[in-house]
């Protein structure tokens, strides 16, 4: 069973999803990869993980770097889980590139390379937006490439973290 709740953020309503003990999803409203696409039955429910996640989001949207993370669990392929784990290593207020993530994942898989497109595909399916910071991934040339929540939201999140100027 998957449980859901909502959170009103400054950049739109967020849907949070949990399997009970862990957060398994966090999406913007109307985001293509959303809880509506989960193949699990889900119900609106109050859970401690939701209260903890909302506290994290409150701090974050108030411009503070949270000093804790809600417990998360990735539901995806082994490759996606490797990529999403790498996203968790991107420090607050910094960026990395698809290429850099590809190099790290390739090393973990004992491969020479993995295409930036494969990495981009996995990043684009990140089920736990904001907390798993796919908004911190940019193109090798410094471009602000796509973001499942929309480029304007990516810019907003980067401004909160002072990655780009206000």
| Residues labelled catalytic | 134
Using CB atoms within 10 Å of the CB of residue 144, give its burial: 0 to 12 exposed, 13 to 18 middle, 19+ buried.
middle
**By three-state DSSP, how is residue 132 classified?**
coil
> Strand pairing partners for 38?
none
Judge whether 74 and 127 are in contact, CB under 8 Å.
yes
**By three-state DSSP, how is residue 129 classified?**
coil
Judge whether 72 and 132 are in contact, CB under 8 Å.
yes
**CA atoms of 105 and 92, how far apart (whole Å):** 20
**CA atoms of 12 and 22, how far apart (whole Å):** 23
């Amino acid at each position: 069973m998957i449980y859901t709740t909502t959170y009103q953020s400054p950049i739109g309503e967020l849907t949070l999803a949990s399997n009970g003990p862990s957060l398994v999803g966090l999406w913007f409203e109307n985001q293509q990869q959303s809880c509506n696409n989960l193949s699990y039955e889900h119900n609106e429910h109050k859970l401690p993980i939701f209260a903890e996640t909302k506290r994290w989001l409150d701090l974050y949207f108030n411009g503070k770097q949270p000093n804790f993370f809600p417990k998360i669990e990735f539901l995806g392929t082994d490759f996606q889980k490797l990529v999403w784990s790498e996203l968790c290593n991107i420090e607050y207020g910094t960026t990395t590139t698809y290429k850099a993530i590809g190099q790290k994942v390739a090393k973990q898989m004992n491969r020479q390379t993995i295409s930036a497109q494969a990495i981009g595909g996995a990043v684009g399916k990140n089920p736990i937006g904001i907390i798993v910071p796919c908004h911190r991934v940019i193109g090798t040339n410094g471009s602000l490439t796509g973001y499942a929540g929309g480029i304007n939201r990516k810019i907003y999140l980067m401004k909160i973290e002072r990655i780009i100027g206000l």
